[in-house]
Amino acid sequence: MTSINVSYPALQSLVIALNHFINFNFLFMAQMLFERDSTNKHLNATRRHMRFARKIKGGETLVTVIEPYYNNLIAKKEERLAKITLREDANDDLSYADSLLDNAVRNAFRACEKYDREHPDNRALLTVFPSGKFGDLVKLPVQEEPDEVDNVVLRFESLGEDHPLFAEAATLAADVTNSKDAITILNTAIKAVKVAEAEEEMAQANLRRQYENNYLQARSTFGRTVAERIFPKLSGGSVKTTAVEEGDE
């Protein structure tokens, strides 16, 4: 709490008294929620507040106005967690598809090697894999590899439909398509998580605002002593307080 500094001696006693008054009120004012607080802390504080409010006559009115915001935050939290699960699944699916694509590239390269051994006068490997290796493809970032392998597909197709290696193009193309689809699904899932996080933050803000309104209403309706009693301590406190629940800190 910021003190008021005044250089005039005649006002020093007044300033000291005022600072004590401000600090006293600050210390004994119910603790509010902040933007930095987690969803769990928002929910836990509100749950405890509603439980306390139900213990006093007329306190149900406070519960009635805040409970919809409480329930909405629960729903938004669950939506975010569900979206995170979908994102994790999409990431796993992409990793799986990438593994299959790597294997398909490796097999296509081996097929070219085999063909060249059997047809030394009509080699195809360097036509399809100009670098003479496949490692540069499978080591590419997951989201870049499909586009590069598309070029390999085109080079296989350039050999002509009558060429023994032409069929490799279709096999590679199928795995490229699967990888591209998996990338699209993952990118969509990532965006969905960001939207869910934003909606949860908005739900937090709405609940936080009503929590403060409830305190002001409780002070107005029931007086300061009762108001302080029905709002929980969110951190610290004496050893007599109940154990800190998940999300309190």
| Whole-number pLDDT of residue 20 | 43
The pair of three-digit structure tokens given for residue 45, joined into one six-digit string: 């504080």
| Whole-number pLDDT of residue 17 | 45
Residues of the chain with pLDDT under 50: 1, 6, 10, 15-28, 236-249
| Whole-number pLDDT of residue 234 | 85
- Contact between 94 and 142 under an 8 Å Cβ cutoff? The reply is yes
Q: What does the alpha-carbon distance between residue 159 and residue 163 come to, in Å, rounded to a whole number?
A: 6
Q: What pTM was computed for the model?
A: 0.76
- The residue type of 49 is H
Number of residues written out for the chain: 249
Q: What does the alpha-carbon distance between residue 144 and residue 104 come to, in Å, rounded to a whole number?
A: 16
Q: What does the alpha-carbon distance between residue 45 and residue 39 come to, in Å, rounded to a whole number?
A: 10
pLDDT tens-digit map of 5-44: 545 554 555 544 444 444 434 444 688 999 999 999 999 9
| Whole-number pLDDT of residue 13 | 53
Cα–chain center distance at 156: 42
Cα–chain center distance at 222: 40
| Whole-number pLDDT of residue 30 | 80
- Contact between 151 and 110 under an 8 Å Cβ cutoff? The reply is no
pLDDT tens-digit map of 156-181: 999 999 999 999 999 999 999 999 99
